[in-house]
């Protein structure tokens, strides 16, 4: 249970994020324009979406100990299913979202029931196989529904006016913020429940859970379905922000989520949120900075690594895993420990 004192910082941060679209503040390097500009708000919205999706993946990996390589499938479900429903089938948005809600529970329930018959690396490979099957379906474009490599040009007519157009980017930002907060609250409630305690017991020692008379299978299936359901809604927000892109169906997409979770800190609630937000922001800004003239004019020893954003992200990931295994979220505790040790050393001397 979070004490009122510890809740002050998250509440203040949330209040700042809510009023951010009204702040005309320019932060050079970190953002390409003022905070209230459409481009910056779109980037921040994307960061918030991936903060929520990373936390959904952490329910599987960090809290239940399930290494899935197929989480991208359910994110892609949230991208493609509403797009097909409103564009190809000419459904209304509420009907499309109702369909997404049903399928986002039914599909992971079925596929999870099959995948969880095995454990460890075998489970990872089965989830990867299902994700690759989804990628093949998208690429083959059955019935002209998925658009193949070209994706789908979304029909915006059924969408409400406040999510369409550059001038309405702030509303998309607030939707993304609401999604991240909702995922956090749902994950917090789930982790604190009796099922959440069993998840952590399964992660630590599944055999011990069986010995005390509990069946791990239904608990793991519950975590799988909940994580997939939350990821699907992140996919819907990606659809509103970016559109339909086949990249969301690749296994690389799931590996990116894994990196986000490890970067932020597994099994720490805020860690996955921080990792998803920070990775998305760095990935976007490093790609933009790599092409800037001021980078190209630097000496080769600086220009070459700064021109390769993936190299920089990889080096950052390795450094954090090596020097701070607990991820970014462990930095405050490490800093406090360092201060206490130094104070104790000075008092002893």
For residue 322, report the phi and psi dihedrals to the nearest 5 degrees: -75, -45
Within a domain: 226: yes
Q: Is the pLDDT of residue 334 over 80?
A: no
- What's the rounded mean pLDDT across residues 252-261? 87
- Percentage above 90 pLDDT, the chain: 51
Among residues 290, 182, 172, the alpha carbon closest in space to that of 242 is found at: 172
- What's the rounded mean pLDDT across residues 211-240? 95
Q: Is the pLDDT of residue 93 over 90?
A: yes
By residue range, what is the domain housing residue 239? 36-348
pLDDT band at 4; cut points 50, 70, 90: low
- What's the rounded mean pLDDT across residues 151-159? 87
Among residues 172, 196, 183, 170, the alpha carbon closest in space to that of 51 is found at: 183
Q: What is the pLDDT of residue 109?
A: 97
Q: What is the pLDDT of residue 349?
A: 63
**Listed range (167-181, 220-234, 302-316) with the worst mean pLDDT:** 302-316
Q: Is the pLDDT of residue 178 over 90?
A: yes
Domain count, the chain: 1
CATH of the domain at 181: 1.10.3470
Within a domain: 23: no
Within a domain: 238: yes
The per-residue pLDDT for range 271-295, each reduced to its tens digit, is: 899 999 999 998 888 877 766 666 6
DSSP letter string over 320-339?
HHHH-TT-GGGHHHHHHHHH
DSSP letter string over 243-297?
---GGGGSHHHHHHHHHHHHHH-TTSSHHHHHHHHHHHHHHHHHHHHHTSHHHHT
Within a domain: 235: yes
Within a domain: 19: no
- What's the rounded mean pLDDT across residues 25-40? 84
Instruction: Give CA–CA dist 337/191, Å, rounded.
Output: 27
Within a domain: 190: yes
Q: Token digits for 76?
A: 């892609």
**Listed range (156-165, 183-192, 294-303) with the worst mean pLDDT:** 294-303
Within a domain: 56: yes
Does residue 338 or residue 25 have the better pLDDT? 25
pLDDT band at 226; cut points 50, 70, 90: very high
């Amino acid at each position: 249970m979070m004490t009122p004192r510890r809740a002050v910082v998250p509440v203040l941060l949330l209040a700042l994020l809510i009023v951010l679209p009204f702040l005309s503040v320019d932060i050079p390097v970190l953002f390409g324009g003022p905070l209230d500009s459409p481009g910056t708000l779109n980037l921040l919205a994307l960061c918030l979406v991936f903060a929520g999706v990373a936390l959904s993946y952490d329910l599987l990996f960090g809290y239940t100990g399930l290494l899935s390589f197929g989480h991208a499938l359910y994110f892609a479900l949230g991208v493609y299913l509403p797009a097909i429903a409103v564009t190809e089938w000419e459904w209304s948005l509420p009907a499309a979202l109702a369909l997404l809600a049903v399928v986002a529970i039914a599909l992971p329930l079925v596929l999870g029931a099959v995948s969880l018959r095995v454990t460890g690396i075998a489970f990872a490979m089965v989830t990867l196989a299902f994700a690759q099957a989804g990628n093949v379906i998208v690429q083959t474009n059955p019935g002209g529904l998925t658009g193949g490599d070209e994706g789908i040009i979304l029909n915006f007519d059924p969408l409400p006016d406040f999510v369409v157009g550059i001038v309405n980017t702030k509303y998309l930002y607030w939707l993304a913020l609401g999604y991240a907060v909702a995922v956090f609250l749902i994950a917090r409630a789930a982790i604190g429940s009796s099922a959440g305690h069993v998840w952590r017991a399964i992660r630590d020692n599944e055999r011990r859970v069986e010995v005390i008379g509990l069946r791990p299978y239904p608990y793991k299936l519950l975590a799988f379905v909940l994580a997939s359901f939350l990821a699907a809604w992140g996919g819907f927000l990606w659809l509103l922000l970016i559109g339909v892109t086949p990249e969301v169906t690749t296994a690389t997409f799931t590996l990116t989520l894994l990196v986000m979770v490890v970067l932020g800190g597994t099994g720490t609630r805020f860690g996955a949120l921080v990792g998803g937000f920070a990775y998305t922001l760095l990935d976007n800004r490093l790609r933009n900075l790599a092409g800037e003239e001021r980078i190209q004019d630097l000496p080769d020893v600086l220009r070459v690594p700064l021109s390769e954003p993936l190299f920089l992200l990889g080096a950052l990931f390795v450094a954090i895993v090596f020097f701070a295994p607990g991820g970014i979220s462990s930095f405050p505790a490490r800093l406090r420990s360092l201060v206490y040790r130094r104070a104790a050393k000075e008092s002893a001397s």
